[in-house]
Structure 1
């Protein structure tokens, strides 16, 4: 009897292994996006994380296990070259046969321009929507046509899914949008120059908008379903559940921030405008324009003046960066300090990381202000 049970168990394990083998190998750039993909794949498979938690995505050296995950990937999700310019060439070299989904180019994503000034005005959030005529009304549409649409945009025959994406850029007149001042000399594997900074570029921290996260959950489900039609129902159901969770989370965060509305705060680097816009909770300025460069003395002087003029009560640091810079900015003020982290460096990677990341941003602000 025990031998029969053992045989059945062995057969079941073989069947499970076969089913698992049919699930695509998925690689994802950063923890917040990895969390979204993990939410959509829940109960089906697990994606691999490329940029280790706590590391800066702007410059990174792949570990062997991460390079191996890219090399074995059937599907790669990433924000785009503005955030991880080095990953463009890594994908071309290691994942040349994979379908590549650049999420910041997903239809319906709102992009905001980079802010160069140290000081922010309450209503300086210009934005672009990649599918403005449809807005976010199509988030819940996840039938077969939607999946086929994403298959067409991200299939193996379209130069890793980039060809249609760059056609999409041309249609909106921002084919040079992948500009970032810290990476002037970078050229991507799609042949487009991602350097310069002619138009100010676009802020790549788009995952900090829950509206964009809703769009991306659906885009992730569509791309996975195109690769793995047998599990399409599970992917779309998980994406729908994830979007519903974000609706509830938004209400929770608004309640947290309502307690301190009207207070002024300064962030360490300008990474949070998507969060600011989503919750109508604007920062007064940023000590540094990016996490890749130290602020100039003139910029620090501007921030110190703003702290005094607007009675700024909170200056947010970040866990990865020199606290001495924040201390010098705070010199002579009575402002409090707190910690904000746009990547979730201290959180366990997985499906729960993204909502906890947004929740932590709101809690950190409320406790500091």
Structure 2
């Protein structure tokens, strides 16, 4: 088709305006960073079709103590929004956000409205098998405004009764337990992660993940009104995907509720509470410090006395200790709270959730 000069000029102006609008829309998409792979996946699901968040920790690295690479520090410095679990999981990141991302809006997901929290389990053996106390330690944090306040989480205690396991002599008084607890945490206070208050591994609850999708969409919409509808649509679709996966997982794990197993470190109680399963204990209280000799002795006694069928290692750590404590004939499996080997992106969360469930079935069946 041929155009005269006036028509060509009008067409050129229209195409230029469209191009400028598209460029402006792209420029308005906020720079977003997320801390660990499961959180990055939730943010990526909400941003799908709009932009991509940056993950600022190497996938699978322990979040409790981490040194940012230059590219990760630069991404944090350029961020408009930072989504992270919270200071309880990665205390070092609070200073990094304050110093590098001064103009960014920091969202600690642990402290957002609707998040269900569980207290740390400090025991070697996790109370009566199968007793989750009906989520008695949940905390809604209804008044939080995405700030940095953490005081509401501290000072809570969770000291389950061990008598049902026949370890009365091993737990003659509470002071003995705390002596061991202090020994296991010697030097760990440098990271500010002292196992008081809320357990930060809350992304292992699919209900929390679904709630966080909404939180993420609302936060992004405040920075990018042009894409608010798409953020909301993506969050709703992501919630439907997680709910469907969780329903299938519940059916798969229903026969596993009486299974007895040990985990490498105590990171899985949100997953357990969701699906009615429960680890008998953990080799490490956290992934940052080695277990005491007393802890290992008690766990070995538990394995002998109560027929532990499976001991789980984690891919980030040497499994020599798991091999040493596992009697012949006991299954060994892998649980990974950080989704180390799953490609990063919007689909990671549900793929990882399904992988966790399958690992449980394969090891304790």
Compute the TM-score of the two structures, normalised by the length of structure 2. 0.82
Match of 2:189 in 1: 184
| Matched position secondary structure for 1:184 | helix
Return the offset for 1:255.
2.0
Match of 1:238 in 2: 234
Match of 2:289 in 1: 293
Q: How does 1:71-150 map to 2 (within 5 A)?
A: 71-121=77-127, 122=129, 123-124=131-132, 126-131=136-141
Match of 1:247 in 2: 243
Match of 1:341 among 332, 336, 342: 336
| Matched position secondary structure for 2:72 | helix
In 2, distance between residues paired with 1:6 and 1:210? 50
| Matched position secondary structure for 2:123 | coil
In 2, distance between residues paired with 1:19 and 1:176? 46
- Counterpart check, 1:282 vs 2:282: no
Match of 2:46 in 1: 40
Question: Residue 307 of structure 1 contacts residue 333 of structure 1 at CA under 8 Å; is this kept in 2?
Answer: no
| Matched position secondary structure for 2:312 | strand
Q: Which runs of 5+ in 2 are unaligned?
A: 2-7, 157-181
Match of 2:357 in 1: 362
Match of 2:162 in 1: none
Question: Larger Cα Rg: Structure 1 or Structure 2?
Answer: 2
Return the offset for 1:131.
4.7
Number of residue pairs matched by the alignment: 326
Match of 1:263 among 256, 259, 263: 259
Match of 1:205 in 2: 201
In 2, distance between residues paired with 1:196 and 1:286? 17
Question: Residue 267 of structure 1 contacts residue 286 of structure 1 at CA under 8 Å; is this kept in 2?
Answer: yes
Match of 1:51 in 2: 57
Return the offset for 1:18.
2.4
RMSD over aligned CA atoms reads 2.7
Question: Residue 185 of structure 1 contacts residue 196 of structure 1 at CA under 8 Å; is this kept in 2?
Answer: no
Match of 2:5 in 1: none
| Matched position secondary structure for 1:266 | strand
Return the offset for 1:105.
0.3
Q: Provide closer, same or farther for how the CA distance between residues 94 and 221 of structure 1 changes in structure 2, counting only shifts above 3 A.
A: same
Which whole-Å deviations, capped at 9, do the CAs of 1:219-255 have from their partners, x for residues lacking one?
A: 1111111111111111111111111112111111112
In 2, distance between residues paired with 1:296 and 1:326? 14
| Matched position secondary structure for 1:309 | helix
In 2, distance between residues paired with 1:176 and 1:108? 21
Compute the TM-score of the two structures, normalised by the length of structure 1. 0.81
